Each structure stands twice: as structure tokens, then as C-alpha cells.
Amino acid sequence: MKANPIARSHTPQFRSVPRRNHNARVDVQGSSPHGGVSPIELSTNWRRSDQFRLLEPQINAQKVHVWPFNANLPIELRLLDGDGDRTVSKNRHDYFEIFFVCSGATSFIVEDRRLPMEHGDMAIVGSTLHHSTHCSPHARSTIGALYFDPDFISGDGMACRADYLAPFLDQDPGFPHIVPAATGLPRQILDLMEMIQEEMPGSSRLARLAIKTYLRMILILLVKQYATHASGVDSFRQQQRALESLQKFFEFLPGHVGDMICAPDAARMCNLSETEFAAYLRQLTRRSFRSYLNQYRVERAQTALAETNHPISEIAQETGFCDQSYFGAVFHKFTDMTPLGYRHHNASGQTSALRPM
């Protein structure tokens, strides 16, 4: 795979974190193209799940994945087994995520980018980007994932929290999400994740303090790794300003998806010029108004096709497509499937994510 020059050039020179002695361990291995990468060794007390069966039902109609965190300890570690025959829909989530490839190989799909990942590589993603992982057909992979609510780091003030979370807040279209195994950083972070797992479920105050401390150590390593992307606070404020500016449009759209909606009307709704509206929308979604509206309508149509027996012509009308042929063309553009094909595909127990554009 092509090396990430930013990830390699800013590798922190930290010593490896000492590992605890575990009575029982399990190797999760795969063929590794990195000659110097040792087998991924994990504690047996990591919860292991089928990736598709666990995650897909938790993704709502707006393509937002909702993780059922413990309110007192909003952090989770999981081993997820995936395969190329069942792909989790591309989604975003309000929590932050760090994951690494324990075995096999996969591709990390982030918006319209496809980033190959090999055994031992690590990836991070924040809360605004739609993403998923894809294996080759009939292939299998296992990933180790850490999910956490960013508010879990609060307590030292917003500015300090933003400093810790800068790599997750400043993920522009060219952000280097992948940290190669050869940098050594994924192994250091895995050590700290193991130490977090040892303290789970955090039933005492001391255990919760240890978990938060280890998580902060992980975040410091990432801040150093992504030193060239240290403008997280400004980026976060820009995202918040854009979201607040478009809030009326986003609140209006779900109840009026079948209406005639044009960019000038949407801009007036938000008290913005068309230029300002287009700039804010592209900043948040990486899309033009028409592309975003069509994507949203196709997502609503996918839900209706999967969950109802309504005629396709009726679904087209309800989601804002006055012509069924045009609906079919737009639907195929985003999914690589016809509406009827999608309905049959979904009825067979499989789910098709939107195709990266």
C-alpha cells in the first residue's frame, strides 16, 4: 500500500508502554505484508462480535450509527469479525473511533475515498464523515475497535478537551486517516487499549480514573502523530458555525423531502446568500446542494423500499422524484442498483451502502 508521508514523518519517539501479564491470550493473525509486524496478540476478555450483525441494526434511517454506551463510562472495545459478502452500510456517528486490522486486509471507505488497510494498520475517524470498511469478496478480516464519547474527556475545560481531540476534529478531505503498522504507533496504542480493557467495566472510581488516563495517553500519542493537523479547535468552530447556519434547512428537509426544493429557497430559509449556503453545505457534507438533496432522497427511498411494500412509482413521488425513470437513474448512480434490484437484494437479508461518489 502507498505509505502516508504525513503519518510516517511525525511518528512520536515514545517507548513502548509496558504490557501487563495476562494469564490467557489469543492470537488474531493474518498474512502480513509487513515483514516486521508481529502477530496481533489480544486478551481473551475482549468482547467478540459479528461486525455486520452487531452494527447494521444500530444504523438508523439517517445513516447514523448509535452505540448504546454506558452513560457512566461511554467507552467500548470490541473485536469485530467481517467478511466481503456482507458490508455494513456507510454511516457516521457522534462518538469517535480508533480501530486496527488484527487479521486479513480491508479497505476503509471515507466519503469518496478508498484507503487500503493491511494487517497491523490503524485508522481513526471523527463524527462528521460517513464511512465503512469493505473486504474483498469472500475474504475475511478482524478489526479491534475502540469507541468513545468525546465528552468523556471533559473536565479540564473546552480548550483542553479540544487539544486532546484535535486529530478527530480536523479531518479535512485529505486527512491521513491510516497510520501504517510499520510506524510502530498502532502497537503502542494497542498496548494502551489492552490496559483500558483490563480496567473494564470500570466498576470503581479508581478503575474509571485509570481508563480515562489511558485514553488520554492514546490521544496524546495521536496529537503528536498528527502535529501538522493541529488546527482542530478552529476547524471544530467552523464546523459548528456551518451546522448552526444550516440548522433550519436540516430541520425542514425530513418533513418536506417530497416537495420541490431549490437552493435559493433553502438559502433564504437560513437567512444566507446562495454563495454562503453552498459553502457551508459543502463544508459539512462535501457535496453540492443538488448532490446532497439527491443523496438524502435516495437514502429515504432505500428505507421505504426495505421497510414497505409501496409501489416504486409511489416511493419515487414521496421522495421528490416526479419521474420514475429519473428516480431510477439517480438511484442507480448512488447505489449501483435499480430500485427493484435493491428491494430484492434487501429482502434476501443483505444491505447495500451508497456507492462512494
What integer pLDDT is reported at residue 176 of this predicted model? 93
What integer pLDDT is reported at residue 171 of this predicted model? 82
What integer pLDDT is reported at residue 32 of this predicted model? 40
What integer pLDDT is reported at residue 149 of this predicted model? 92
pTM for the structure as a whole: 0.59
DSSP string of 51-105, one letter each residue: HHHHHGGGB-TTSEE----BTTB-EEEEEEEEETTB-PPPBEESSEEEEEEEES-
What integer pLDDT is reported at residue 230 of this predicted model? 57
What integer pLDDT is reported at residue 17 of this predicted model? 42
Query: What's the Cα-to-Cα distance from 91 to each of 58, 73, 202, 297, 353, rounded to whole Å?
Result: 10, 23, 29, 16, 9
Per the listing, cell 491470550 goes with: 25
- The half-sphere exposure of 208 on its side-chain side, counting CA atoms within 13 A, is 10
Cell of 108: 476503509
* Closest-CA residue to 135 (of 158, 104, 157): 104
Residue 218 in contact with residue 43, Cβ under 8 Å?
no
Q: What is the pLDDT along the chain (357 residues), one digit of tens a residue?
A: 444 443 333 433 434 444 444 444 555 554 444 344 455 667 658 999 999 999 999 999 889 999 999 999 999 999 999 998 999 999 999 899 999 999 999 999 999 999 999 999 999 999 989 999 999 888 999 999 999 998 888 655 444 567 788 888 878 788 899 999 999 999 999 999 999 999 999 999 999 999 999 999 999 999 999 886 555 546 666 778 888 899 999 999 999 999 999 999 999 999 988 888 998 898 888 899 999 999 999 999 999 999 999 999 999 999 999 889 999 999 999 999 999 999 988 776 555 555 545
What integer pLDDT is reported at residue 33 of this predicted model? 40
Phi-psi map region of 63: left, alpha, beta (phi>0 left; psi -120 to 50 alpha)? left
